A and B are shown apart, each in its own frame.
Chain A
Amino acid sequence: MIPDELKSHPAIAAVLAQVPDAIEEAGIALGEKTVVVKASRILDVCRVLRAQGFNRLSSVTAVDWHPTEPRFEVVYHLQALPVSDRSPQVDRLRIKARLHGEEAEIDSATAVWRGAEWYEREVFDLFGIVFRNHPNLTRIMMPADWQGHPLRKDFPVHGHKYDYATES
């Protein structure tokens, strides 16, 4: 279900035309456009959006909805920032892809925006989501020998160092 306001947006219209099966749902909330795409088509969608002027990747992050499935949402915040424009008009778009806990793997967006590299490493480090074809998928925040992924909801806030008997 895609609202008409989004269907008429040139970039989303281009995605609908070129990758017709990609968009699962879309909507506008609090003035922000969100498009949920199939995880398997994320790279195609990113390529189309980049060609449509979304030249800047503001951030990549993830949300863990444990214990519901699909558990993870990988969230991309894109921005159209016309470089030739002296008074740039910006446009923002949020792309989401949902992943199941057992197969938390998605294609890396580094082929489209090089700046995705560190953001995807951070998501890999803190959520344990694997980005296929990433140039250097290693831990970035935690030490290399760290066990587990701290931003997952089933990782205790105190870590595993202390086992409080009363911790809920």
Chain B
Amino acid sequence: MATLEMNPAAAGDTGSTRRMTLNMGPQHPSTHGVLRVVLELDGETILKATPDIGFLHTGIEKQCEVRTYQQVVPLTDRVDYLANLSNNLCYCLAVEKLLGLEIPPRAQWVRVMLTEITRINSHLVWLGTHALDIGAMTVFFYCFREREKILRLFEMFSGQRLMTSYFRVGGLALDAPRGGFQAVRRFIDEFPSNVDEYENLLNANPIWQMRTQGVGPMPVDDMIDWGITGPMLRAAGFPWDIRKTEPYSSYEKFQFEVPVETGNDVWSRYRVRMRELRESAKIVVQALDGLPEGPITADAPKVVLPDREKMKTQMEALIYHFKIVTEGFSVPAGEIYQAVEAPRGELAYYVVSNGTGKPHRLHMRTPSFGNLQGLGPLLDGRLIADSIAAMGSMDFVLGDCDR
């Protein structure tokens, strides 16, 4: 952070070959957070773009090392505040693998349902702000109308709109509230027609087409080399989705397609995400239709907090409750690298346990960090006006990047 010096005088500044260094951010509206990009310009052409990150570094990885495994869950949704449940899920899956826990189907189905709603939420915020950057203001209001409904659903299920912490190691924090699934059903039945509305506003819009088509291409090999994942790769024709290639939380039991476009530009990334909205809606409907009955937590009394009723009538339950709350549960020594498909790409948690009740090391491989690394090569040689569209198509969250 803050290691880049601006020296406008370094380049020749005479006549038509004059070069200029422009500091974009850290408080620039199109960077959606605190990203600084130092642009070296020749007229309106970007010769070199250097992203500078770290303004939102909060030391979450260090914090995790002094918390018990269950206490880490609320930190994980503060990493990427638009994909809170994806982070909860990734962390819980990692620790559950270390513990060797079997998660009951009902909990897995609810997890899939809510992470897909999270994907819809994240893509809606992306679409609204990305379109706003390019100049289409109306879409923003439509997207946030639906986002508000999603946040109300999160509040129904978890009691929180943003920092849900609804998935816990061993299952879910609570069972669904009364009327919760009906509310999800009402939202998701209506949602495809909302996507039609967004597409009506944008698909045939000549300004939108001109600002996005053919803008910001990058070869697939370069993207993989720089660490770019997710919709960026799928918009370049590479059909890699972790939900399909390394299924987790019963994703293999759901029918959905991986949207792929071949344009490799801002337009294709828009198309991929719009189609992902519809696919996610399909998965939510399947999860609602096939929702199994049964428990919502694993049968692991040393890990999962006991039922209140049991706690008041059974001594073992009371003892386990006391142990879990005061010192947490210990996790067998070992390490795990759990990857999930977050809305922005590959999200992976690397958890190292030394056999105690607190993680020895917890590393988050976040999609925004990998994606932003490719921002420089993506912008080099492009026009400064296109940089806004190209940056927006990357869909990064700085909290996710800096952790």
Residues of A within 8 A of B (CB): 29-30, 32, 34, 55-59, 61, 63-64, 75, 77, 81, 83, 86-90, 92, 94, 113-115, 117-119, 126, 138-144, 150-151, 155, 157
User: Across the interface, do B1 and A142 meet the contact criterion of CB distance under 8 Å?
Assistant: yes
User: Across the interface, do B348 and A63 meet the contact criterion of CB distance under 8 Å?
Assistant: no
Q: Give every chain B residue within 8 A of A151 (Cβ-Cβ).
A: 61-62
Given contacts A88-B239, A114-B225, contact A63 B360 (CB under 8 A): yes
Q: Which of A32, A86, A119 contacts B336 (CB 8 A)?
A: A32
Report if B261 contacts A (CB, 8 A): no
In angstroms, Cα B349 to Cα A58, docked, is: 11
Report if B226 contacts A (CB, 8 A): yes
Q: Give every chain A residue within 8 A of B227 (Cβ-Cβ).
A: 56-58, 115, 118-119
CB distance from B17 to the nearest CB of A (A): 26
Q: Which of B57, B225, B246, B374 contacts A90 (CB 8 A)?
A: B246
A-contacting residues, B94-136, CB 8 Å: 97-98
Given contacts A63-B360, A81-B224, contact A117 B336 (CB under 8 A): no
CB distance from B79 to the nearest CB of A (A): 14
User: Across the interface, do A83 and B224 meet the contact criterion of CB distance under 8 Å?
Assistant: yes
CB distance from B99 to the nearest CB of A (A): 11
Q: Give every chain A residue within 8 A of B226 (Cβ-Cβ).
A: 114-115
A-contacting residues, B359-403, CB 8 Å: 360-361, 363, 365, 369-370, 372-374, 402-403
CB distance from B6 to the nearest CB of A (A): 14
Most buried by B among A61, A119, A144: A61
Most buried by A among B66, B240, B365: B240
Could you list 13 A-B pairs, sorted by A, with CB under 8 Å? A29-B335, A55-B221, A58-B227, A58-B348, A75-B363, A83-B220, A115-B373, A141-B1, A142-B1, A143-B1, A155-B62, A157-B62, A157-B65
Q: Which of A77, A81, A90 contacts B365 (CB 8 A)?
A: A77
User: Across the interface, do B59 and A32 meet the contact criterion of CB distance under 8 Å?
Assistant: no
Report if B53 contacts A (CB, 8 A): yes
User: Across the interface, do A142 and B54 meet the contact criterion of CB distance under 8 Å?
Assistant: yes
In angstroms, Cα B55 to Cα A141, docked, is: 7
User: Across the interface, do B334 and A30 meet the contact criterion of CB distance under 8 Å?
Assistant: yes
In angstroms, Cα B335 to Cα A77, docked, is: 12
User: Across the interface, do B336 and A138 meet the contact criterion of CB distance under 8 Å?
Assistant: no
Q: Give every chain A residue within 8 A of B239 (Cβ-Cβ).
A: 86-88
Q: Give every chain B residue within 8 A of A55 (Cβ-Cβ).
A: 221, 224-225
Q: Which of A75, A117, A139, A140 contacts B350 (CB 8 A)?
A: A75
In angstroms, Cα B348 to Cα A75, docked, is: 14
Across the two chains, which residue of chain A brings its CB closest to B403? A141
In angstroms, Cα B63 to Cα A31, docked, is: 28
Q: Give every chain A residue within 8 A of B374 (Cβ-Cβ).
A: 115
Report if B352 contacts A (CB, 8 A): yes
Report if B238 contacts A (CB, 8 A): yes
In angstroms, Cα B373 to Cα A103, docked, is: 28
Enumerate the 5 nearest inter-chain pairs by beta-carbon distance, A residue then B residue, closest first. Answer: A115-B227, A59-B365, A141-B57, A61-B363, A141-B54
In angstroms, Cα B239 to Cα A140, docked, is: 32
CB distance from A120 to the nearest CB of B (A): 11
Given contacts A63-B352, A83-B221, A90-B245, contact A150 B335 (CB under 8 A): no
User: Across the interface, do A59 and B245 meet the contact criterion of CB distance under 8 Å?
Assistant: no
Q: Give every chain B residue within 8 A of A115 (Cβ-Cβ).
A: 225-227, 370, 373-374
User: Across the interface, do A58 and B339 meet the contact criterion of CB distance under 8 Å?
Assistant: yes
Across the two chains, which residue of chain A brings its CB closest to B377? A114
Across the two chains, which residue of chain B brings its CB closest to A56? B224
